[in-house]
Structure 1
Amino acid sequence: MSQSETRETASSLGLALLGSELRVLFRRRRTWAMLAALAAVPVLIAVAVRLSDSPDTPGDGPAFLSNITQNGLFVGLTALIVSVPLFLPLTVGVVAGDTIAGEANLGTLRYLLVAPSGRVRLLLVKFAGAAVFCVVATLVVVLVGATIGAVLFPIGPVTLISGDTVGVGGYALRAALFAAYVSISMLGLSAIGMFISTLTTVPVGAMAATIVLSAVSQILDVLPQLSAIHPWLFSHHWLGFADLLRTPIDFTVFGENALLQLGYIAVFGALAYGRFATKDILT
């Protein structure tokens, strides 16, 4: 077999393995339950604002909450701000913590490795599956927020924090950037969760450890005494997408966040490989 045929075979095998991983992930009731819980966040926010008798006071509650009654497009953005600190890390931690430990717990990991997949390819596929979930989870919050906002509130041009006004199309572009920003923000946590998942055969333990680490990182990030380490915490830029509501759009924090998450992916991906490559699976 030539090298080109070998590469094509390896690529086909990787895609088939990824397709199988995504089918398994999105056929689980647990996955749909988590997505439903995320979808409920913008719905609850919109309904609560719609049924409220008292006017919203700027500064009370999550950012942009007071703007919802004037423009329903702010529902999705407000829901993202509410979801990023807790709900999204919780669901991502469940998926990432289950990547390897879940297979080991079910006894299917050895069979995956008997197939000509290889440990590196399996790790890449597992991380890719977790990354796809990050994107889907974020889009659920944004799209459900936009839909319920359009149903319950008026829709119109959006006034940005820079003072400029953009139409619905201009805001839709920024909403897509919000989703991309938050999805990238969750990738570092996914890499950490996958590494922890290689350390145990108990998926619940890996899930819990990943979720706890996300909370610890956010707690450390608000302590002024630890300001020296703040830029290195994977959660430091999680809520830094406000600059996307300026004209022109400022991508500085977007780039810093992407580089930070890439660093965590590289470090914890290497640690996961180091652990997984030496782990005795077949005994």
Structure 2
Amino acid sequence: MSRAEPVPASVARRPSPLWAFGLLRNEVVTTLRRWRTLALLAVLAAVPVLVGIAVRIETSGGSRAGGDGGQGPAFISQITNNGLFLVFTSLAATLPFFLPMAVGVVAGDAIAGEAGAGTLRYLLVAPAGRTRLLLTKYATVLAFCVLATLVVAGSALIVGALLFPLGDLTTISGTRISYAEGLGRALLIALVVAASLVGVAALGLFVSTLTNSGIAAMATTVGLLITVQILDQIPQLHAIQPYLFPHYWLSFADLMREPVYWDDLVHNLGLQALYAGVFGSAAWARFTARDISA
């Protein structure tokens, strides 16, 4: 009878795809169970409620909300005609600050929070490696990007249906589309908005690898976000503004044109991919060379 050969350690320690999926699932569930995450989602869900009530009160008083031709928050001028426009308005209202701030908080806490709590070392026990853990953390943040955006869109859709009429809607170009097509565009816009947060997620993850303090990482990420937003508004810096990650955020409004304008949308998605590549690589380089003592 032949004796079984010992299994090489490298093979025995190799994680299966099911194990990797389980790690991602556990990370997502753990993130969503935190009171901080639930509070962020509650705030995001409350924004469409406040906007919808404010528009309803304003129009009930005999005046109509103004706009600036359909860009960004100017969707507000169409809410009274069709509640679906509350989705577009709420996404435009939350994208400059609330959505990226929420993503920055979750991303900044991804690695630094574990290090501060003393659990990072245990997460790296075999078969988990540093690269796999970092990718899992980033995937968790991206899942939160999608969830946070859908929470805003879903809340706005419900509030819009309760407070305002629904039906066919008029695009920015003046053409009419059906309500079903409008719902499809609303979903596409929500996904584009979520994709617009990819760069912020990578930036926050990189900052999170630089410190053992989750609070410091979150504050730094949000501070950088505010700083870049300010730089994007200074006319004298117009030469560098197309390279700042928030510059094309409101380009999702072009999805409500007929035909759709794709130039700024493509620029936005390409810019987010660039930031994800640069800061994702920087996070990997820092994390894989980091001395984990906690």
TM interval, short-chain normalised:
over 0.9
Q: Which residue of 1 aligns with 2:64?
A: 56
2:159 equivalent to 1:148: yes
**TM-score (norm. length: structure 2):** 0.91
Map Cα deviations across residues 130-180 of structure 1 (whole Å, 9 max, x no partner). Answer: 000000000011111011100111001110011111111111111111111
Q: For the Cα contact (< 8 Å) 1:181–1:241, is it kept in 2?
A: yes
Q: Pick from 19, 24, 32: which aligns with 1:18? A: 24
How far apart are residue 12 of structure 1 and its match? 2.3
Q: Which residue of 2 aligns with 1:249?
A: 260
Correspondence 1:1-283 to 2 at 5 A: 9-52=15-58, 53-59=61-67, 62-282=73-293
Map Cα deviations across residues 232-275 of structure 1 (whole Å, 9 max, x no partner). Answer: 10111111111100122233222221111111111111111111
Separation in 2, partners of 1:199, 1:101: 8
The unaligned stretches of length 5 or more in structure 2 are: 1-6
Q: For the Cα contact (< 8 Å) 1:72–1:155, is it kept in 2?
A: yes
How far apart are residue 98 of structure 1 and its match? 0.4
Q: For the Cα contact (< 8 Å) 2:206–2:280, is it kept in 1?
A: yes
SS at structure 2 position matched to 1:62: helix
Q: For the Cα contact (< 8 Å) 1:98–1:203, is it kept in 2?
A: yes
Q: Which residue of 1 aligns with 2:4?
A: none
For residues 158 and 7 of structure 1, do their structure 2 counterparts lie closer, same or farther at Cα, with a shift above 3 Å needed? farther
Separation in 1, partners of 2:234, 2:75: 25
Q: For the Cα contact (< 8 Å) 1:185–1:238, is it kept in 2?
A: yes
For residues 9 and 117 of structure 1, do their structure 2 counterparts lie closer, same or farther at Cα, with a shift above 3 Å needed? closer
How far apart are residue 7 of structure 1 and its match? 11
1:56 is matched by which residue type in structure 2?
R
How far apart are residue 57 of structure 1 and its match? 4.1
Separation in 2, partners of 1:7, 1:177: 41
How far apart are residue 10 of structure 1 and its match? 3.7
2:251 is matched by which residue type in structure 1?
G
The number of residue pairs the alignment matches comes to: 281
Q: For the Cα contact (< 8 Å) 1:100–1:194, is it kept in 2?
A: yes
Identity of aligned residues (%): 50
For residues 6 and 150 of structure 1, do their structure 2 counterparts lie closer, same or farther at Cα, with a shift above 3 Å needed? farther
Q: For the Cα contact (< 8 Å) 1:56–1:65, is it kept in 2?
A: no
SS at structure 1 position matched to 2:210: coil
C-alpha RMSD of matched pairs (Å): 1.9
The unaligned stretches of length 5 or more in structure 1 are: none
For residues 141 and 25 of structure 1, do their structure 2 counterparts lie closer, same or farther at Cα, with a shift above 3 Å needed? same
